[in-house]
Structure 1
Amino acid sequence: MSDDFVLETRQLVKEFRGFVAVDHVDLKVRRGHIHALIGPNGAGKTTVFNLLTKFLTPTRGQIHFNGADITYAKPAEIARRGIVRSFQISAVFPHLTALENVRVALQRSLGTSFHFWRSGRSLEVLNARAEALLADVGLSDYRDTVTVEMPYGRKRALEIATTLALEPELMLLDEPTQGMGHEDVDKVAELIKRVSAGRTILMVEHNLSVVSKLADRITVLARGAVLAEGDYATVSQDPKVREAYMGKSDDAAGGH
Structure 2
Amino acid sequence: MADVILETRKLTKAFKGFTAVGGVDLNIERGHIHALIGPNGAGKTTCFNLLTKFLTPTSGQILFNGRDITAAAPAQIARMGIIRSFQISAVFPHLTVLQNVRIGLQRTLGTSFHFWRSERSLDVLNGRAMQLLEEVDLAGFADQVTASLPYGRKRALEIAATLAMEPELMLLDEPTQGMGHEDVHRVTALIKKVSSGRTILMVEHNMSVVSGICDRISVLQRGAVLAEGSYAEVSKDPQVMEAYMGAPQ
Q: CA–CA distance in 1 between the matches of 2:113 and 2:135? A: 23
Q: Which sections of structure 2, spanning at least 5 residues, go unmatched?
A: none
In the alignment, what sits opposite 2:204? 205
1:62 match: secondary structure: strand
Q: CA–CA distance in 1 between the matches of 2:97 and 2:113? A: 16
Q: CA–CA distance in 1 between the matches of 2:167 and 2:21? A: 25
2:245 match: secondary structure: coil
In the alignment, what sits opposite 1:80? 79
1:245 match: secondary structure: helix
Measured at CA, do residues 243 and 171 of structure 1 come closer, stay the same or move farther in structure 2, by a change above 3 Å? Answer: same
User: Which 4+ runs in 1 deviate beyond 4 A?
Assistant: none
Q: Structure 2: which amino acid aligns with 1:219? A: S
Q: Structure 2: which amino acid aligns with 1:82? A: G
Judge conservation of contact 1:104–1:114 (CA < 8 Å) in 2: no
Q: Percent of aligned positions with the same letter in both sequences?
A: 74
Q: CA–CA distance in 2 between the matches of 1:118 and 1:35? A: 41
Q: CA–CA distance in 2 between the matches of 1:7 and 1:61? A: 14
Q: Structure 2: which amino acid aligns with 1:150? A: L
Q: CA–CA distance in 1 between the matches of 2:70 and 2:24? A: 14
2:147 match: secondary structure: helix
**How many positions carry a matched residue from both structures?**
248
> Normalised by the size of structure 2, how large is the TM-score?
0.97
In the alignment, what sits opposite 1:162? 161
1:151 matches 2:139: no
> Normalised by the size of structure 1, how large is the TM-score?
0.95
Judge conservation of contact 1:3–1:66 (CA < 8 Å) in 2: no
Q: Cα distance, 1:118 vs. partner?
A: 2.3
Q: Structure 1: which amino acid aligns with 2:98? A: L
In the alignment, what sits opposite 1:62? 61
Q: Which sections of structure 1, spanning at least 5 residues, go unmatched?
A: 250-256
Q: CA–CA distance in 1 between the matches of 2:135 and 2:217? A: 26
Task: Spell out the pairing of 1:94-173 with structure 2 (5 A cutoff).
Answer: 94-173=93-172
**Is 115-124 or 143-152 further displaced after alignment?**
115-124
Q: CA–CA distance in 2 between the matches of 1:87 and 1:70? A: 21
Q: CA–CA distance in 1 between the matches of 2:80 and 2:219? A: 27
1:27 matches 2:30: no
Judge conservation of contact 1:98–1:144 (CA < 8 Å) in 2: yes
**Is 186-195 or 112-121 further displaced after alignment?**
112-121
Judge conservation of contact 1:11–1:60 (CA < 8 Å) in 2: yes
In the alignment, what sits opposite 2:228? 229
Q: Deviations over 1:132-186 (max 9, x none)?
A: 1000000011000000000000000000000000000000000000000000000
1:37 matches 2:36: yes
Measured at CA, do residues 148 and 77 of structure 1 come closer, stay the same or move farther in structure 2, by a change above 3 Å? Answer: same
Judge conservation of contact 1:107–1:114 (CA < 8 Å) in 2: no
Q: Cα distance, 1:239 vs. partner?
A: 0.8
Q: CA–CA distance in 1 between the matches of 2:37 and 2:115? A: 38
